[in-house]
């Protein structure tokens, strides 16, 4: 067997799960998964390096495996600007940029 390593300061991506030590959040994520499946809005918050991104990757895989389409909405600056512009145009608003 290959030697595992510790992964710090970053999300544990699905492609490295087999190569690192980590606490599998599957059981603790069941209530979160159920809320998502019910269509509820959910948000994760916690201390830095507490497993938030790792949990999102794990939930994404579970949802995809169960047939739910899921994409983590990490937007680029251009995408955010586009969304604000669409909102501004649709509601005839002026949004000041700071």
Task: Provide the pLDDT for residue 98.
Answer: 63
pLDDT exceeding 90 applies to what percent of the chain? 3
Handedness of CA 9, 13, 15, 20 (dihedral sign): positive
Q: Residue 72: pLDDT band by 50, 70, 90 thresholds?
A: low
Q: Are 26 and 60 in contact (CB under 8 A)?
A: no
**pTM of full prediction above 0.75:** no
Closest of 65, 55, 47 to residue 22, by C-alpha:
55
Task: Provide the pLDDT for residue 80.
Answer: 80
CA distance 26 to 38: 18
- Convert the pLDDT of each residue in 11-50 to its tens digit: 777 787 778 877 777 778 889 889 988 988 888 888 877 7
Please name the helix (run of DSSP H) or strand (run of DSSP E) that holds residue 88, with its range, or none: helix 77-90
The domain limits of the chain are: 5-73
């Amino acid at each position: 067997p290959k030697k595992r390593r510790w992964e710090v300061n970053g999300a544990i991506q699905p492609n490295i799960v087999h190569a690192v030590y980590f606490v599998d959040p599957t059981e603790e994520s069941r209530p979160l998964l159920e809320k998502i499946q019910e269509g509820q809005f959910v948000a994760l918050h916690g201390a830095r390096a507490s497993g938030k991104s790792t949990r999102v990757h794990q939930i994404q895989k579970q949802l995809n495996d169960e047939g739910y389409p899921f994409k983590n909405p990490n937007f680029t600056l251009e995408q955010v600007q586009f969304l604000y512009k669409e909102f501004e145009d649709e509601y005839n608003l002026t949004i000041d940029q700071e």
